[in-house]
Amino acid sequence: MRKRLNRAISLLMTVLALALPTLALTACGTPDPVTRESYYFDTLCKITVYDMKDMSSEKASAAIDDAFKLCRKYEDRLSKTKKGTEIYRINHADGGWVTCSQETVDLVKKGISYGDLSGGRFDITIGKAEDLYNFHSEKHTVPTAAQLAAAVRSIGYQQIQISGRKIRLTKTGGEIDLGGIGKGYIADRVADLLRSKGVTSAIVSLGGNIVTIGDKGGTPFTIGIEKPFSDQSAIVGTVPAKDQTLVTSGVYERYFKKNGKLYHHILDPKTGLPVETDIRGVTIVSKDGNSADCDSLATYCLILGKDQARKLISGMKGYECLIIDVNGKISKTSGMDFTAGEEKL
C-alpha cells in the first residue's frame, strides 16, 4: 500500500505544474520537456527537465540519467534496510565504529541538530519502534506494550557518537533511520547535479519532497497541495514556486487502521506510539533554505501541533508553512503564497 501511496503523492504534487502549457517551440524546434520516473528510497522519484543550456531531449535525458544514478548512490549509502549500506552497517555493528562517507556524517549531524532543536521529539534513532508497525509492508501490526517498551529503550539520538568519519551507536539495538531527513538532502543534491549539467528549468520530486529549478517560461511552477485522506484525488489549493523547495509531511502518507484506530508513521520517541497531533498535513516552503531542513521541519511541525508549529516557522527567516488541521481548516504563516481552491484530479 505504501508504494501506491507514495507514487500517488508524488504525482499529485507535480500534476498541476506539469499540466501547464509546455515551453513554446522556437524556430529551431526546441524540444518538449523530458520526464522520467524511477523508484528509490521506497518511493517514486520523478524528474522533469523543461529547459537547459543548448536544450535537447538527448541532453535532458542524459542529465536525468545521471540524477537517478546519484539517487542510487545515496540509496546504497543511506538506506537502513538495504544490506551493506553505511546506515545498515552502523545499525548492525553492535556498538562498533563504522567508517562512513563525509556526506553520511554530515547528514547524521544534521539529524542530531534537529534532535536538539526539538528537545528530542524529532529523533533519527526511532527505527526500532517504526519497525514494529510494518509500515513498509502490506501486513501491518499493532505492537504490544512490551514490544514498545523494549523499542523505546533503544531510542535516543544522544547515543550516536561521531569521531571524524566514524560513527557508532552506544545503545544495544539502537537503529538510525534517516527517513525524516534523507529524501530532502538527496533532493538538494539532485538539484545541484542538474544545475551543474546546465539545467535551468526543472522539477525534482522525491515523494513529498519537491525542488523547483528556475521557472517555466517566465511563470512560476504551480504545485498542488494534497487534501488529506482524499485517496490522492484532490487538492486544497496551489502554491507558486520558482527556485524553491516544498516539503509536505502528513499522517495520511503512511498509515493503517486497526479496530477503528488510526496508526500513522510519525512516532513519539518516548512511547513509540503515533504522536497525538491536531495536524493532518503540513507543507514547508523555502527559497533560501534547503530541502533537508524543510524535510525535518515538516515532521517536527506535525509533532508540535498547529499553534506551536506556526509560531516556530513564523520566527524562522526564509521559511513559510501551510497547515491543514484535523477539521480540514487551513492556516498559514503570513508570507505563505497560497491560493485556496479544492479541486478533483
State residue 254's pLDDT score.
87
Q: How far apart are the first and last CA of the chain?
A: 20
Range in 104-108, 112-116, 151-155, 205-209 the model is least confident about:
205-209
CA 233 from chain centre, in angstroms, equals 20
State residue 143's pLDDT score.
96
State residue 287's pLDDT score.
86
Q: d(Cα 32, Cα 3) in Å, to the nearest integer?
A: 29
Asked whether residue 129 is domain-assigned, the answer is no
Mean pLDDT for the stretch of residues 26-54: 83
pLDDT in tens, 283-305: 999 987 789 999 999 999 999 99
Find the domain containing 316 and state its range: 2-74+181-344
State residue 194's pLDDT score.
98
State residue 2's pLDDT score.
39
Asked whether residue 220 is domain-assigned, the answer is yes
The answer to whether residue 20 scores a pLDDT higher than 90 is no
The answer to whether residue 18 scores a pLDDT higher than 80 is no
Q: What is the mean pLDDT of the chain?
A: 89
pLDDT in tens, 161-184: 999 999 999 998 899 999 889 999
Asked whether residue 65 is domain-assigned, the answer is yes
C-alpha distances in Å from residue 276, one per residue of 29, 41, 119, 167: 55, 27, 17, 32
* Number of independent structural domains in the chain: 1
Asked whether residue 36 is domain-assigned, the answer is yes
Asked whether residue 137 is domain-assigned, the answer is no
23 falls in which pLDDT band (50, 70, 90)?
Answer: very low
Which residue in 162, 165, 166, 182 sits closest to 114, CA to CA?
182
Asked whether residue 285 is domain-assigned, the answer is yes
State residue 28's pLDDT score.
39
State residue 207's pLDDT score.
83
State residue 344's pLDDT score.
80
Mean pLDDT for the stretch of residues 327-343: 94
Mean pLDDT for the stretch of residues 74-79: 96
State residue 19's pLDDT score.
38
State residue 172's pLDDT score.
85
7 falls in which pLDDT band (50, 70, 90)?
Answer: very low
Asked whether residue 266 is domain-assigned, the answer is yes
Mean pLDDT for the stretch of residues 320-340: 96
What CATH number should be reported for the domain holding residue 60? 3.10.520.10
Cell numbers that stand for 309 in this block: 508549529
State residue 30's pLDDT score.
53
Please report, as a single letter, which amino acid is at residue 34. Answer: V
pLDDT in tens, 199-240: 999 999 998 899 999 999 999 999 999 999 887 789 999 999
253 falls in which pLDDT band (50, 70, 90)?
Answer: confident
Identify the bridge partners of residue 238 per DSSP, sorted by sequence position.
224, 339
